[in-house]
Structure formats: structure tokens, C-alpha cells
Amino acid sequence: MDCVEVIKHTPSSKDERGRIVKYVFGEPIEEVVVVERRKGTVSGNHYHKGLDESKNPEKLIILSGKAGFEARNLLAGGELKRTVGPLTEIRIHPNVWHKLEALEDCVFMEANKKSGVEGDLFRIQEG
């Protein structure tokens, strides 16, 4: 589905202390939100219309754990279901309903603009 990009990152450096992974968000990101989810819980279950430029596309990065990711293009049709793990970035374009279900305890981060996020979040009922 071309309205969702799933990108597997690799460490830019690694030594006995651990690893370094660089993520470049660009403008207009003003904050990075770190979200911890327990196994079996769901995040998302919504879509964005692209009214907030930081949600066009929305950017999520899985830092630890595994999650099931589902997406459905509300305008053009098409669905995507993937299991994602650490160092995976997901870019979700407007009008794509999406949810992330923690298959094990997981941590992910989301890049946002501080203002406007709430005005560009639309929930739909699963059916």
C-alpha cells in the first residue's frame, strides 16, 4: 500500500557500549512523544486528514518490543497488516485509518507539532 511506508533502520554505529540509531524528522516537528504500551493494548485506531502538517505523514518509530500494525486507505481502498519490531519506522499518510497492537510490551515514539494535533485526529468505529 503506497500510502504507508515501513522502513527498517540499522544502527549508524555500534560498539561495546551499545548502538546509536539516527532518525531525521525535519520540519515542522516540535516534540517527540515516547509511548509505552503493555502487551495486548491498542494505540491509534484513528486517521488524520493532513490538516496538521506534522501528521502529513504521521511518523512512528518502534524502539522496543513487537506490535501488530494495521492500516486501511479510506479513500482508495487497500489494507496492510504487518508485525513490526525495534528500529522500524512507519510513515502514515493522510486518510489512512491505522492502529498498533502491542504483541509484547513495547515502546514507540511519535513526532508531532505541539499545536494542531488534536484538530487532525478522527476516530472511526471498527466493524
Q: For residue 65, is it within any domain? A: yes
**Domain of residue 98, residue span:** 4-12+23-123
The predicted structure's pLDDT at residue 121: 84
The predicted structure's pLDDT at residue 35: 95
Question: Number of folded domains in the chain?
Answer: 1
Q: For residue 17, is it within any domain? A: no
Measuring CA to CA, how many Å separate 45 from each of 22, 24, 27, 109, 125? Answer: 28, 25, 25, 16, 8
Q: For residue 18, is it within any domain? A: no
Residue 49 is part of a domain; what is its CATH number? Answer: 2.60.120.10
Q: What is the pTM of this model?
A: 0.87
Digit-coded pLDDT (tens) for 87-104: 999 999 999 999 999 999
Question: Using CA atoms, how far apart are residues 127 and 111, in angstroms rounded to an integer?
Answer: 29
Q: For residue 76, is it within any domain? A: yes
Low-confidence ranges of the chain (pLDDT < 50): none
Q: Output the nine-digit C-alpha cell for 108.
A: 514507540
